[in-house]
């Protein structure tokens, strides 16, 4: 290669490298405003909460460094342990119940030939209605023995149930309400995924003589598996972080039976005047959610075709 050719090649390489660097800088320039906003809205509160969890303070006094003592205190705090246990129960039953309900409605609606849009609209209402409105409506329907639900039960000879005054029934009620609010998301997600499954697969299964259960197990569920994992993960995160359902319906009662980590953290911060302990509760919840997300995402990766 001559000297001129080498110089020309080197110049072309430098020119292409400069263009690539300018393109990269331009891309980062477009991303910078969004990254700054995300950092201010998400990362800064997260870091600040972690710092608060290592301090002891309140809204009226500056915090002082206490290290891991807040987490040590939580390990022996029976109220927090109960709230953590209830959060786990609330999350698991809400996610599984919403998934079962959403999957059932998705498969049923997919078989409709007429009025599908109207049924979809009706099933989306629990998700569309503002949470405050729906929760207050549920509270009105369940509040006492004269509420509409107990009156309806009376027609069937069932005695009045203290839905919000009994620890057991209050726990069941908040879980049912959370399922009712969550299943439309899973329903519309799984319905879209089911509609994307090629009908040729079901036609081939019919020709092979497969029954409904075999077809569901061999075709439907494998096709919906990846979407199902993502949907359950999102509903589990939303359920664990659910504040309004418990706070507006039971306030954590009766007898602290329906406290979850989020509601207990709120009370600890605003009424217990201990921001450090409240932040430590939030950090523990964050770690548990990250662990749950890691497990489900690992399961999602295993579903990838080899």
Residue closest to 81 by CA, chosen among 254, 242, 256, 236: 256
**Residue 65 forms beta bridges with which residues?**
55
Q: What is the pLDDT of residue 304?
A: 65
- Buried residues in 148-162 as b, exposed as e (16+ CB within 10 A): ebbeeeeeeeeeebe
CA distance 83 to 159: 30
Residue percentage of the chain with pLDDT more than 70: 93
Whether 4 has a pLDDT exceeding 80, the answer reads: no
Q: What is the pLDDT of residue 208?
A: 82
Question: What's the pLDDT tens digit per position in 71-130?
Answer: 999 999 999 999 999 999 999 999 999 999 999 999 999 888 787 788 888 888 888 899
CA distance 279 to 286: 10
Whether 64 has a pLDDT exceeding 90, the answer reads: no
Confidence band of 59 (pLDDT split at 50, 70, 90)? confident
Q: If phi over 0 gives left and psi between -120 and 50 gives alpha, with beta otherwise, what is residue 197?
A: beta
State which CATH number among 1.10.1740.10, 3.40.449.10, 3.40.50.720, 1.10.3720.10 fits the domain covering 74-302. 1.10.3720.10
- Average of pLDDT values for 272-276? 86
Question: What's the pLDDT tens digit per position in 277-299?
Answer: 999 999 999 999 999 888 888 88
Q: What is the pLDDT of residue 169?
A: 94
Question: What's the pLDDT tens digit per position in 34-57?
Answer: 888 887 888 888 888 888 899 887
Q: What is the pLDDT of residue 31?
A: 80
CA distance 93 to 238: 13
Q: What is the pLDDT of residue 306?
A: 46
Cβ atoms within 10 Å, residue 8:
12
3-class SS of residue 157 = coil
Question: What's the pLDDT tens digit per position in 205-223?
Answer: 888 888 888 888 888 999 9
CA distance 221 to 227: 10
Q: Which two three-digit tokens encode residue 139?
A: 């509270």
Q: What is the pLDDT of residue 10?
A: 54
Whether 241 has a pLDDT exceeding 50, the answer reads: yes
How buried is 23 (Cβ within 10 angstroms: 0-12 exposed, 13-18 middle, 19+ buried)?
exposed
Q: Which residue has the higher pLDDT, 246 or 11?
A: 246
Q: Which residue has the higher pLDDT, 68 or 60?
A: 68
Q: Which of 13-27, 174-188, 257-271 has the lowest mean pLDDT?
A: 13-27
Q: What is the pLDDT of residue 80?
A: 94
Question: What's the pLDDT tens digit per position in 148-202?
Answer: 988 888 888 888 888 999 999 999 999 999 999 999 999 999 999 999 988 888 8
């Amino acid at each position: 290669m001559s000297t001129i050719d080498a110089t020309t090649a080197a110049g072309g390489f430098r020119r292409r490298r400069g263009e690539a660097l300018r393109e990269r800088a331009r891309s980062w320039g477009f991303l910078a405003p969004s990254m700054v906003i995300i950092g201010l809205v998400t990362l800064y509160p997260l870091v600040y909460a972690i710092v608060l969890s290592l301090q002891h303070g309140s809204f009226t006094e500056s915090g002082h460094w206490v290290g891991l003592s807040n987490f040590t205190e939580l390990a022996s705090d029976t109220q927090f342990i109960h709230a953590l246990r209830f959060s786990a129960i609330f999350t698991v039953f809400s996610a599984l119940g919403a998934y079962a309900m959403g999957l059932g409605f998705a498969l049923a609606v997919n078989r409709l030939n007429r009025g599908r849009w109207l049924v979809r609209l009706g099933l989306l209402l629990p998700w569309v209605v503002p949470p405050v409105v729906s929760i207050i409506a549920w509270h009105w329907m369940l509040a006492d023995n004269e509420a509409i639900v107990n009156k309806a039960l009376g027609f069937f000879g069932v005695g009045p149930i203290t839905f919000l005054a009994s620890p057991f029934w209050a726990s069941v009620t908040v879980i049912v309400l959370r399922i009712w609010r969550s299943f439309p998301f899973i329903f519309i997600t799984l319905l879209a995924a089911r509609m994307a499954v090629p009908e040729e697969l079901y036609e081939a299964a019919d020709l092979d003589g497969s029954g409904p259960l075999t077809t569901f197990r061999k075709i439907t569920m494998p096709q919906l598996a990846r979407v199902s994992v993502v949907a359950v993960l999102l509903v589990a995160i939303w359920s664990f972080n659910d504040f309004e359902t418990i706070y507006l319906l039971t306030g954590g009662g009766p007898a602290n039976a329906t406290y979850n980590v989020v509601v207990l953290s709120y009370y600890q911060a605003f009424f217990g005047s201990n921001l450090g302990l409240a932040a430590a509760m939030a950090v523990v919840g964050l770690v548990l959610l990250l662990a749950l997300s890691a497990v489900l995402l690992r399961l999602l990766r295993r579903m990838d075709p080899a």
